[in-house]
Chain A
Amino acid sequence: MSKLLNANFARLKKEKVFWITVVFMVIYAAGVCIWAYSRGSGIKFDGLFLYVYGLGGQAAVPGIVMAVLCSMFIGTEYSDGTVRNKLVVGRTRFEIYASNFITCAAAGIFLNVVCTASICAVGIPLFGGFAMPAGMLIQIIITGVLIMVSYAALFNMLAMLLTNKTSSSVLSLILAIAVMFAAAYMIARLAEPEITDLYSLVDGQFTVETGPNPFYIGGMARVICQVFVNLFPSGQSLQLSSEYAELNWTLPLYSAGVIIAANAAGLSGFIRKDLK
C-alpha cells in the first residue's frame, strides 16, 4: 500500500488539475475576504471563516472542486490504462482502491488547509482574529476536514466504478451540483419559522395576521430533510457556511458514516468489476 501511495503522491505533485485547484482555492479565499471588506459592513472574521465553506450557503464550492479533482486524477488511471500496470504486477484491488481514496482525501485536506491558510492570511489583517472559543474552532476545522474526506470517498467511489474519465467527471459534477441545489433548498425550507406573519389584501387594504407558515416543513418530512442535508458533504458545507448548523459532533458523525459506507460500496463493486 505504501508503494502505491508513494506512486500516487508523486503523480499528484505533477498533476496540473491539482495545482489549478490549489490556485483556485487561494484566489477563492482571498476573493471572499476582499469582497467582504469592500462591503464595509461590520463583518466578523468568524463568520467569514465559515462563509467560505459554501459561499454563504449559496454554493458548495469545495464540492465542485473535489468533483473535478478526484474524477480527473482517478479517471486518468482508466483513460491511460495504467490501473492495469498495478494489477499485473500483483497489487491487490483493495490496495489500489484504498490508496486512491487516501490520495484524494489527502488532496482534499491539503486544499482545505490552503483555503484556511489563505483566508487567515488575508482575512485576519482586514477583520481581526477569531472571536470564537478554541474548542469550537477545532470542531469546525474537524467538520471541514471530514467534509473534504467525505467528498473524496464519494467521488473516488464514482471514478473507480465508472472506469470512464469523461462519464465520471460529468456525473460527479452533475451530482455535486444537484445535491448542492437540493441541500440549499432544503436548508432554506428548514430555516423557515413555524409561525410567521401572513399578509393578505382585503378590500384594497393589506392586513397582517400571525399564523402557521405554509413553507415550514414539519413532522417526518422535516426529519428526512435534516438527514439529507446532514448526510451529504454539500449539505454540511452549506449548513456551516450559512451558520445554520448546530456546532456539535452530529456532522462529523454523519461524515464518518458516509466515508465508511461509500468506501465499502465502492470497494465491493471494484473487487467484483471486470477491467479491460
Chain B
Amino acid sequence: MEYVLKASRLTKKYKNSKALDGLTMHVEKGAIYGFVGKNGAGKTTLIRIICGLQRPEGGEYEVYGVKNSDKEIIQARRRMGAVIETPSIYLEMSAEENIREQYRILGLPSFDGISELLELVGLAGTGNKKAKNFSLGMRQRLGIAVALAGSPDFLVLDEPANGLDPQGIIEIRELILRLNREYQITVLISSHILDELSRLATHYGFIENGRIIKEISAKELEAVCRKCMRAEVTSTVVLSRVLERLGMEYTVVSDTQADIYGKVSITDLALELSKEGCEVRSVHERDESLESYYVSLMGGGRDE
C-alpha cells in the first residue's frame, strides 16, 4: 500500500489545550480522504502541520515517504497544494494575476497553462475583475486553482464547502471528483457537511479530541452500514448481555432499541433472548448513512 501521508502519534498543544493528542492517520495514494470531526477536534491543526505552517510537539509524519524531520520534506511538499480555511489569494489581483504570482513563487519557466487552469476551475471569463469582487465560491475555486498551479499530486482542502451556496457546493464537488479521477490527484478534505463528504470520499478518518478514532474506506463503511439492524426488544440490558456473549458490535439507542452491526442470525438471537425472558418486538434492516455512523462512532446524542 502506497501512502501519500502517514502521521504517527502527532501531538500539538495550544497554551493549555491539546489540539492533537497522539494522532495517527494514513492517506492512501489516489484516495479522496474525508477528514471528519467536530469543531476544535484538531482537523485544521493537522492540516497546518503537514503544510509546514506549524510544528508538531511530538510524533512524526511522512509526506511521500519523507519524514518531517528530514530536510527533503521541503522537496516533498513541492508535490502538495493546499487551501487552508480561507482561500490564499491576493484580493487586489485578478484571477490570472494570482496564478501568475504563484507561478513565479514556484519558479515555473513560463506562464503556459494558466488559461487551462482557469478553465478547469470555471474562472476563464473573469478577465481583469479583482478577486475582492469575487463571490465566495469563485474565491474558493481560485484558491484551488492557485493550489493546483504547481501540478500537485496531493491536494489538501480544509472545509472547501464552508459558506458556499448549493450551486457552489456542487461545483466544488465536481471539481474535486474531476481532479481525482482525471488527474489522479490524492485529496485530503476536511468537512462538516457529512452528506456532501459521503458523495466524494473514498476513505474516511474520524477525529475526536485530537485523535483519529477510526479510519475506514468508503467500501468498508458501506458494508458496515448495510449490515446494521435496528432491533426493538423489551430490555436492552438483556440484549446487551446476549450481544456481548455473541461477540457482536452494537449501539444502544434507547431502553428498548439498539443497532446491531455485522451479520446476525435473527432466529439465534431471538432464542437467546427468549431464554433470558426478553421479547423481540421488531427487527428491521437499516441503511445507515455516514451521519448515523458518525453519530454512533462519537457516542451519539452530541452535536457535531
Contact = CB atoms under 8 A, between A and B. Distances in A.
Interface string B85-121: 1111111110001001110111100000000000000
A112 to B, nearest CB: 26
Interface residues of B, number: 36
B59 interface: no
A89 B105 contact: yes
Contacts of A87: 51-53, 77
Given A80-B90, A82-B88, A82-B89, A90 B78 contact: yes
A238 B85 CA distance: 46
Contacts of B75: 90
A166 to B, nearest CB: 15
Given A90-B74, A90-B75, A275 B81 contact: no
Contact of B150 (A2, A16, A89): A89
Interface string A259-276: 000000000000000111
Contact of B53 (A3, A4, A80, A276): A276
A208 B281 CA distance: 115
B80 interface: yes
A60 B6 CA distance: 54
A82 B92 CA distance: 12
B87 A81 contact: yes
A84 B104 contact: no
A76 B90 contact: yes
A109 B63 CA distance: 41
A84 B52 CA distance: 9
A10 interface: yes
Nearest to A81: B88
A89 B77 contact: yes
B31 interface: no
Interface in A212-227: none
B54 A275 contact: yes
A14 B82 CA distance: 25
Interface string A165-184: 00000000000000000000
Given A88-B77, A89-B77, A89-B150, A276 B85 contact: yes
Interface in A144-160: none
Contact of A80 (B78, B88, B100, B107): B88
Nearest to B81: A88
Contacts of A16: 92
B48 A85 contact: no
Given A84-B82, A89-B81, A90-B74, A274 B54 contact: yes
A11 B104 CA distance: 10
Nearest to B131: A80
Given A80-B90, A92-B74, A10 B51 contact: no
B48 A7 contact: no
A77 B9 CA distance: 32
Contacts of A82: 88-90, 101
B105 A7 contact: yes
B84 interface: yes
A6 interface: yes
Given A7-B104, A85-B88, 6 more contacts: A82-B88, A82-B101, A83-B88, A88-B84, A90-B52, A274-B54
13 contacts: A10-B101, A14-B92, A14-B97, A81-B85, A82-B88, A84-B88, A87-B51, A88-B80, A88-B81, A89-B102, A90-B74, A92-B74, A276-B85
Sort A-B residue pairs by CB-CB distance and give the 9 closest, nearest first. A3-B107, A7-B104, A90-B77, A81-B88, A275-B53, A90-B78, A274-B54, A90-B74, A88-B82
